[in-house]
Amino acid sequence: MDVDTALRSLFFVLGLAALTPIITGLLPGPRVPQVVVFLMGGVVIGPEVLDLGSASSLNVFSEVGLGFLFLLAGYEVDPKLLREPVMRMAATAWFGSVAVSLAVTGVLWATGLVSDYVVIAIGLTTTALGTILPIVRDAGLLEGPLARPIVANGAIGEFGPILAMAIFLGTAGKFIALVTLMLFGFMAVTVLFIPRRLVPSKVSEIVAGGTEQTSQATLRWVVVMLVGLLLIAGQLGLDVILGAFAAGVVLRLARPKDIEVLEHKLDAVGYGFFIPIYFIVSGMNLDIVSIVENPGRLLMFFALLIVVRGGSVFIVHRNLPNKERRQLALLSATALPLLVALSQIGMEAGKMQPANAAALVGAGALSVLIFPMLATRGTAKEGSPTVVPAAES
């Protein structure tokens, strides 16, 4: 791929990313999450409509964007939640959705409607925590009794499927994947904690002191860590998202002194540049023709998201009033970023049909548009501005 083609593709992708906040701000009605515009815009500038760029020329940017997406998702997981009853309930709900998903997908497979059993079964158990957080924050739900259940179910709904993807869709066998997963976890911890013991104090002071200067030393080392872990994950036969997610979790555990400043910088680099490229490139690769030809498949997956994931959450959280249970179920069934990554990995592994991948991503886009709107209807805080991060992953 020549440089001119790559630059032209990058120009149109970045132009779309820059226009997206304006588009979502001007659209009437409830605020449309920007990730939906990224995907649809990618379809428009992709080969099936305007053909303004080549997705393959941006693969490196897209891969790093995927890494940033799950680095930040892993960072959102608060280890303190692991010791609370709400996390045990969230885990029970997720395993319940796994059981229902296996049964439902088995029926679809037996009737010949799908052949990509594993990928779809995993996809129906996902939750887009990063996508729903800004929405529920604006609605005031993070200040009430739903705050911790939302975060707990979202965290499990991201970590569980990511782990399943690494084991069942990785290039290595399942046993090898489990062994390398433990080895990789050790490496991730080593990358962050060992340097504290080996690096001279003077060097540590220089790195920490460069956070607010032009050197941006801490940010650069986190990016080096991210790319390095992605590289290690690939060498071990694991999916890159596992490496990124683990890096985010370990980074939160490490808690550098300048962590608040670092958070803003990671958001700026990730949501401001790499993550939009990932979603737009995913839209460019989306098989939109198959959705148009068979919309029933998309609607089927959309309905299954609320039945499988939302239904399990609704049943398990009986301690909440019915209204809050419905809200939590709808929010937990909201799933798009993981479906995009899952579909991409499934097709690369030869375990997913392009038609089902497009329908599953389309169903996720519908869930982002509809479920949070239903869950937060009438709950928005008076005079509260709608703040939407650049990618709403």
Span 108-157, pLDDT tens digits:
999 988 888 889 999 999 998 877 877 787 777 877 788 889 989 998 99
In a domain, 383, yes or no: no
User: Residue 261's pLDDT is what?
Assistant: 72
Confidence check: pLDDT of 24 > 90:
no
In a domain, 343, yes or no: yes
In a domain, 392, yes or no: no
Mean pLDDT over 62-88 rounds to 80
In a domain, 389, yes or no: no
Counting the structural domains of the chain, the total is 1
Amino acid sitting at position 348: E
User: Residue 378's pLDDT is what?
Assistant: 64
Answer whether 389's CB lies under 8 Å from 273's CB: no
pLDDT confidence bin for 238, thresholds 50/70/90: low
Residues in the chain: 393
pLDDT confidence bin for 206, thresholds 50/70/90: very low
Confidence check: pLDDT of 346 > 70:
yes
Could you give the angle at the alpha carbon of 77 between the alpha carbons of 144 and 273, nearest 5°? 105
Structural domain including 115 reads 3-376
In a domain, 141, yes or no: yes
Which of 19-28, 30-39, 173-182, 353-362 is the least confident region? 173-182
The stretches of the chain forming alpha helices (DSSP H) are: 3-26, 34-45, 59-75, 85-110, 117-123, 129-138, 147-168, 174-198, 201-209, 217-235, 240-254, 259-269, 275-285, 288-293, 295-304, 311-316, 322-332, 337-348, 354-376
In a domain, 364, yes or no: yes
If one compares 285 and 217, the residue with the highest pLDDT of the two is: 285
User: Residue 342's pLDDT is what?
Assistant: 85
Mean pLDDT of the residues in the chain: 80
Confidence check: pLDDT of 203 > 70:
no
User: Residue 165's pLDDT is what?
Assistant: 80
Confidence check: pLDDT of 234 > 70:
no
In a domain, 356, yes or no: yes
* pTM for the predicted model, two decimal places: 0.77
The stretches of 255-316 forming alpha helices (DSSP H) are: 259-269, 275-285, 288-293, 295-304, 311-316
Which domain CATH number covers 92?
Answer: 1.20.1530.20
Q: From CA 366, how far away is CA 297, in angstroms rounded?
A: 13
Tens digits of residue pLDDT in 240-277:
666 677 777 777 776 655 566 777 888 888 889 999 99
Closest by alpha carbon to 238, among 177, 186, 191? 177
In a domain, 384, yes or no: no
Answer whether 15's CB lies under 8 Å from 37's CB: no
- Output the CA–CA distances (angstroms, integers) from residue 170 to 89, 166, 173, 296, in the order listed: 29, 5, 7, 30
pLDDT confidence bin for 321, thresholds 50/70/90: very high
The three-class DSSP label of residue 204 is helix
